[in-house]
Homo-oligomer: A and B are copies of this chain.
Amino acid sequence: MWRLHHFILCPFSRKVRFALAVKGVTHDLVQELPWEKRAAFTALNPAGQTPVLLQGGLVLVDSAAIVEHFEETLDRTPLLGSTPEARAETRRLLAWFDQKFYAEVGAPLLGERMYKRAVIKGAPDGSIIRQASRNADMHLEYIDFLLEQRAWLGGGQFGLADIAAAAHLSVADYLGGLEWDGHDPARTWYSAIKSRPTFRPLLAERLEGLPPPLHYDKLDF
């Protein structure tokens, strides 16, 4: 059995959990609070970051390494696409969400609304939150733009671009950083994602002392 070290508000952990669920890879969960820098966890990953997935002597560190591993070793449920063009487009969007969305939206919201509020009990910086929310709106517009041309974010098929986007958006949504009004294509797409049995369990989890907005786990939001 695989064992996944994750943190419930880590978008990269959510990406891996959603992908493993879609691929039918069963696994145990171990929750890490990254700021605790648990020695046994740092021994697994010197970078100290979730997610880490292991089984026997094989230790997979980093969400891209985990996902690429199962694309290479499992025949079922390919999620990157079947042509070089489709795979390039999926990986472009993985970089978009994992790097750009995370830097512009996810990381600042996690810093101000999760880490400061729930961990160090400090006062969030309103200007950082407002900038992250403006950035989030630009990202929802880009998602609208893609979905006006395609059934799914990466193209005609559901795949890793949708999984990564849903993971990152769900964390920003938990932290109250998304305003869905005016983004009907993105909202329709995200409602379809939320209804998937492979994604719903993620939406049921809560970080103690930090409840999400009321609309967070609703299909009609």
Residues of A within 8 A of B (CB): 45-47, 57-62, 64-65, 68-69, 72-73, 84-85, 87-88, 91-92, 94-96, 99-100, 142
- Name the residue on B nearest A46 (C-beta): B142
When the two chains form their complex, are residues A62 and B91 in contact, meaning their CB atoms are under 8 A apart?
Answer: yes
Name which residue of chain B comes closest to A63, CB basis: B95
B57 near A84 with CB under 8 A, answer: no
| Most chain B CB inside 10 Å of its own CB: which residue of A46, A57, A95 | A95
Residues of B within 8 A of A60 (CB): 88, 92
A92 & B57 in contact (Cβ 8 Å cutoff): no
> CB within 8 A of A62: which of B58, B65, B92?
B92
- Looking at the assembled complex, report how far the CB atom of A165 sits from the nearest CB atom of chain B, in whole angstroms: 14
Given contacts A46-B142, A69-B84, A87-B72, contact A95 B64 (CB under 8 A): yes
Are A96 and B57 within 8 A (Cβ)?
Answer: no
Who on chain B is nearest to A58 by CB?
B85
Pairs A–B under 8 Å by Cβ, sample size 7: A45-B92, A46-B142, A58-B88, A62-B92, A64-B94, A69-B87, A73-B84
Q: Which residues of B contact A88 (CB under 8 A)?
A: 58-61, 65, 69
